Amino acid sequence: MPFELPSLPYSQDALDPYISARTMSFHHGKHHAAYVNKLNELIKGSPMEKQTLEQIVRATANDVGKVAIFNNAAQAYNHEFFWHCLKPKGGGNPVGVLAERLNATFDSIEKFKEELKNAAVTQFGSGWAWLVLDQGNLKVVKTSNAMTPIAQNQTPLLTVDVWEHAYYLDYQNRRPDFVQAYLDNLVSWEYAAGNLEAALTRTTR
């Protein structure tokens, strides 16, 4: 099998009480695993077995003949990215270059948080809310279903998963409460800052 389910960067109960071990068991162990397993099934025996997730996502985006491959590859990519956007005792505010760029773009950290939360809460149905770097500029975007910024030539810096399986066992229909808990207690600003630094370094080479 070319792809394996990546391990979580923390234990399943590490995000309690904001995300329960039960939710993580289903979300990571069932949903994420299903995307990985289905992708392996779909690309078996093809040249894509030797490609990275990102390469597969880019190659199959907007290809009507490869929708199933795209959906499973993109969801595998999105979930692997999302796990690193979370950390125990996260939240608070970013510092350094990320904070400077957020303040310059959104006028304040709080306004950025409001915009990200609004994107997450207003995403109709399943999807994601993202902070991305787009042609050198920070933007908040939302994507539906499996769509991901790397399929739209944007660099993802941070995301929050608003598919119901991400929060329903803990929050039922209270998506705004889940997103607020993410911002206040779980978000890993260090991960977002590292992604920004790496992106800026690539553009200056």
Task: CATH number of the domain at 136, please.
Answer: 3.55.40.20
- Rounded to an integer, the average pLDDT of 31-59 is 97
- Please tell me the distance from the alpha carbon of residue 33 to that of residue 80, in angstroms, as a whole number: 11
Residue 195 lies in a domain: yes
- 121 and 177, same structural domain? yes
Query: Is residue 204 scored above 70 in pLDDT?
Result: no
* One-letter identity of residue 125: G
Residue 54: which pLDDT band, with cuts at 50, 70 and 90?
very high
- 100 and 72, same structural domain? no
Query: Is residue 1 scored above 80 in pLDDT?
Result: no
Kindly state the tokens that stand for 67. Answer: 């929708």
Question: What is residue 117's predicted lDDT score, i.e. its pLDDT?
Answer: 98
- 112 and 27, same structural domain? no
3-class DSSP string for 115-171:
HHHHHHHHCCCCEEEEEEEECCEEEEEEEECCCCHHHHCCEEEEEEECCHHHCHHHH
Residue 4 lies in a domain: no
- 167 and 100, same structural domain? yes
Q: What is the pLDDT of residues 59-105, one digit of tens each?
A: 999 999 999 999 999 999 999 999 999 999 999 999 999 999 999 99
How many of the other CB atoms lie within 10 Å of CB of 198? 11
Q: What are phi and psi of 154, to 5 degrees?
A: -115, 155
Q: For all residues of the chain together, what is the average pLDDT? A: 97
Residue 193 lies in a domain: yes
Question: What is residue 159's predicted lDDT score, i.e. its pLDDT?
Answer: 98
Question: What is residue 108's predicted lDDT score, i.e. its pLDDT?
Answer: 98
Domain with 64 in it: 21-84
- Please tell me the distance from the alpha carbon of residue 46 to that of residue 58, in angstroms, as a whole number: 16
SS3 label, residue 187: strand
Query: Is residue 40 scored above 90 in pLDDT?
Result: yes
Q: What are phi and psi of 166, to 5 degrees?
A: -75, -25
- 108 and 48, same structural domain? no
Cα angle, residue 73 at apex, residues 115 and 200 outer, rounded to 5°: 50
How many of the other CB atoms lie within 10 Å of CB of 137? 10
Residue 161 lies in a domain: yes
Q: What is the pLDDT of residues 171-191, one digit of tens each?
A: 999 999 999 999 999 999 999
Kindly state the tokens that stand for 26. Answer: 């289903």
- 100 and 80, same structural domain? no
Q: What is the pLDDT of residues 96-143, one digit of tens each?
A: 999 999 999 999 999 999 999 999 999 999 999 999 999 999 999 999
Residue 2: which pLDDT band, with cuts at 50, 70 and 90?
confident
Question: What is residue 203's predicted lDDT score, i.e. its pLDDT?
Answer: 74
- 150 and 65, same structural domain? no
- Please tell me the distance from the alpha carbon of residue 136 to that of residue 26, in angstroms, as a whole number: 37
- 115 and 30, same structural domain? no
- 200 and 101, same structural domain? yes
* 115 bridge partner residues: none
Query: Is residue 16 scored above 70 in pLDDT?
Result: yes
